[in-house]
Structure 1
């Protein structure tokens, strides 16, 4: 049997190399790793000396990873994955007393995701939580780059292999300023939306995608007056009378009047969607993430009030 030789490089060097190859830049790698550029350059140089091969080559004012660097990154990722499995097995030996859960949610989940995590950490107090709340496009990038294991979103991407667990309803309601004449109606025809000023979330937002799909399906042509980057900005703008908007019912107070808005009973609203917990089917979940999936399956999150969501 051949004797296994220990590597001539360190995990720190491999982590640095992985970031440089993935980001294609020593500057960006240094920023991500919270290191100085000379430190990153020195680690790459040490790797090249240890392996006696070039890992980066100059291109203009930047660098380009060589084929050897791409091969080393793939090897490093295999090593990192193996080390993660070791940590998970170690956690299992200790009854999941320690560990880390890396999870992200799209912006609207900020109204409820902390409650889910609190219930989980009550049962597993030794677990550290790394939570990111960002727009849908940023959450998708985190999944692509393995920055997170789990994500909570309404409209997962089609270009990633994903497991999906339905969690709870996410009714998308139409809102206008408090006192809007439609608020007191029994039902308003959807064609009334034609020509109305509409406020939208940023491109790539799940709520915007669902809204645009609804409008396209029914041939409706409101006027997009403004694009805003958060639910809070949308609510303030609607309350100020800048236009109507579609938002998740979760983003509103139990009584929408507290937000200065009213639910508008237009035919077709609420648009019924669902929150999903998703993760890469081509990746092995850590023990902490596996336990979280089991937890939410055993303890489904609370549903929003159906009557309020429907504007009844």
Structure 2
């Protein structure tokens, strides 16, 4: 058993196909196949079942996956400690994002300081990202939470506040704010149920015994913005993610105090290891530069 075999197993487990794993690691598919076969021979059990769409992990593979990822991170960490300071010459880091606008300055600095570490980035809503972290499918999530989750290591980055998005032809375009009672009757364009933005907004409505059922449900923040810009309805967005689209304007709901935090979420056992620790340190530094307030 060696590191190449462990990396190949981890890549196939995360990408669900041998070809995608090979592409992610920058090696041939035959090399991935050989490494996985050698690892299966070493542990004495089959790790993957081939399907029409790719592969499925066996029960033994599911049990092995978190141990393998922790071992890889520990070896990367040892290598960094024994080399020049704590620099990471190589490695692989899987990151999940629900808020690209918050994450991009962190990614930019990390790639500048650790160019040898290959990044794999996924976009999903906060609920899905936490599931991926728990399943060891990603190492780090930058997710929107009302409060830290006790089952993960959660580092606060920045406060987020829910705002209303309107288009240029909307009667509210010139207003700085509206009241919650103004919202019923509007056509709402929103994200899927797993979206924390939607959850926060609907919880605030429920507290005031107001109803605003979705007129259109879309699977991404960008799709919501495009629908609002096209005049389909009003949207909801977190203030750190509103962007700079001149077709859109964000306005506050004066009697909503709907806030949450953007958190860097990891598993506790890997928080201080290798590329996870390096990314967490940079995220903390970038967050402090923004001088954020903690969510209420």
* TM-score (ref. length: structure 2): 0.73
2:211 maps to: 221
Q: CA deviation at 1:227?
A: 1.0
Instruction: Work out the number of aligned pairs and report it.
Output: 281
Deviates more, 1:97-106 or 1:236-245: 97-106
* TM-score (ref. length: structure 1): 0.70
Q: Distance in 2 between matches of 1:193 and 1:280?
A: 39
1:274 aligns with 2:261: yes
1:2-55 deviation line (CA, Å, top 9, x unaligned): xxxxxxx666666777788x79xxx94545535879x9699659946x77x764
1:264 maps to: 251
| Larger Rg, first or second structure (1 or 2) | 1
1:241 aligns with 2:228: no
Which of 152, 176, 198 matches 2:142?
152
* Structure 2 residues not aligned, in runs of 5+: 23-27
1:288 maps to: 275
- SS of 1:241's partner is coil
2:93 maps to: 102
* Structure 1 residues not aligned, in runs of 5+: 1-8, 305-312
Q: Distance in 2 between matches of 1:232 and 1:213?
A: 23
1:84 aligns with 2:73: yes
Q: CA deviation at 1:170?
A: 1.4
- SS of 1:297's partner is helix
Q: Distance in 1 between matches of 2:207 and 2:181?
A: 12
- SS of 1:181's partner is coil
Shift in CA distance, 79/167, structure 1 to aligned 2, threshold 3 Å? closer
1:129-177 deviation line (CA, Å, top 9, x unaligned): 4141411244224312323322211128988721111111212211112
Instruction: Describe how 1:1-312 pairs up with structure 2 within 5 A.
Output: 28-30=16-18, 33-34=21-22, 47=40, 55=46, 70=60, 74=63, 78=67, 81-94=70-83, 95-97=85-87, 98-100=89-91, 102-107=93-98, 109-122=99-112, 124-136=113-125, 137-155=127-145, 161-185=151-175, 187-254=177-244, 258-269=245-256, 271-299=258-286, 300-302=288-290
Shift in CA distance, 280/83, structure 1 to aligned 2, threshold 3 Å? closer
Contact 1:196–1:223 at 8 Å: present in 2 too? no
RMSD: 4.1
